[in-house]
Structure 1
């Protein structure tokens, strides 16, 4: 029993569990809207594209949050502008923009003399979470969660039918760019926990699991939050005994849960077909 409780005895593990609980809810809620809207690639694009903003903020001595948010919003706005003013499809534009921004970040990083480890930015440093990281993630998570819960009906209509949302008098432009702003902020909140590359797992998998398991959006939100919270806490806990990094362990657990949800949906569909 003492060995099983061993991870909870260290301060750095307590901080790791705490930041998991902080970022699990906003990432899960946001993932539901991204899945319904078909913005999986957008989450991937923004998560990669904030690298140059993080590096430039470090060089300028500014908070990394400011650089990451500015780069994320620039990526989102540039993607929207290019897709509206060209015949190229949005997914193609996103692929070009995020790969270009990611490459720019790598080039800038290699040209400066810095003690900042790129691995911590790309893959997270959950076991090195400090008080400032917890406060930053907590404030952002609280804001994102409140914004999503207060406007979920408008965002849901915008995700399903933007034309109907416009006819209904909803501020479609504000909802569109507001959701992108929340996406950028959420990625900033998860920067320390999972890094840029693995953040997309938290932004897509919980919503996909909820989508497969439930039939109503309210239940989808609940299932996504539960799956994300359980995966983050259990992944961090198991990483101690597996001698692995917490972030990839979390993503593997989310992937396994998605596989189970998909298998369950196939079984239910086949059973309904046979009974019918």
Structure 2
């Protein structure tokens, strides 16, 4: 990152997801191309069974409840594990809980959204949010809203241009991040 405030792991994730998305869009525009491989990489957002939607909704409610209940402990744990331990935070239990929640969420969502969209939505919205706030709570809220916005806009682009939905969502998210980063950089110069 060489003196930049952005995390290099996040930038690599954005570039990888964006490259894959734009490559898939080019394949979508190629006449006669079979998109069977795309279902694993980008999922099948428009063919999600109702049972999966209900399970994801319950999982969302559970994760939201856990995060709200232990928010201050997660905040402490995220920034300084030793400090959290010294203040009595159950570090090991919360760390394992956070890893399990992340793993279950990723496994569930990969089946629906595909590997590349999962990586993109775990990377791009938080990176965008971190451009505008240093608060964990505000980062989570802004990243959630950005994810919703990117998904809705990407689905609209996908529908109107007859493109793969996952690739369209990632293309919109990447474009949104680049515009936000550029706008912030220009704003800071003035």
Give the TM-score of the pair, scaled to structure 2: 0.75
Counterparts of residues 1-276 of structure 1 (less than 5 Å): 119-271=38-190
**Structure label with greater radius of gyration:** 1
Deviation at 1:147, TM superposition (A): 1.5
CA contact (8 A) 1:141 1:189 kept: no
CA contact (8 A) 1:234 1:250 kept: yes
Q: Compared with structure 1, are the counterparts of its residues 166 and 203 closer, same or farther at alpha carbon in structure 2 (3 Å cutoff)?
A: same
CA contact (8 A) 1:213 1:261 kept: no
CA contact (8 A) 1:207 1:221 kept: yes
Q: Compared with structure 1, are the counterparts of its residues 167 and 39 closer, same or farther at alpha carbon in structure 2 (3 Å cutoff)?
A: farther
Deviation at 1:255, TM superposition (A): 1.1
| Partner Cα distance (1:190, 1:209) in 2 | 21
User: Which consecutive residues of structure 2, in runs of 5 or more, have no partner in the other structure?
Assistant: 1-6, 14-35
Aligned length: 162
Q: Deviations over 1:50-92 (max 9, x none)?
A: xxxxxxxxxxxxxxxxxxxxxxxxxxxxxxxxxxxxxxxxxxx
Deviation at 1:249, TM superposition (A): 0.9
Q: Compared with structure 1, are the counterparts of its residues 202 and 121 closer, same or farther at alpha carbon in structure 2 (3 Å cutoff)?
A: same
Q: Deviations over 1:15-40 (max 9, x none)?
A: xxxxxxxxxxxxxxxxxxxxxx9986
- Displacement over 4 Å in runs of 4+: 37-40
CA contact (8 A) 1:209 1:258 kept: yes
Deviation at 1:118, TM superposition (A): 6.2
**1:87 match:** none
Give the TM-score of the pair, scaled to structure 1: 0.53
| Partner Cα distance (1:240, 1:158) in 2 | 42
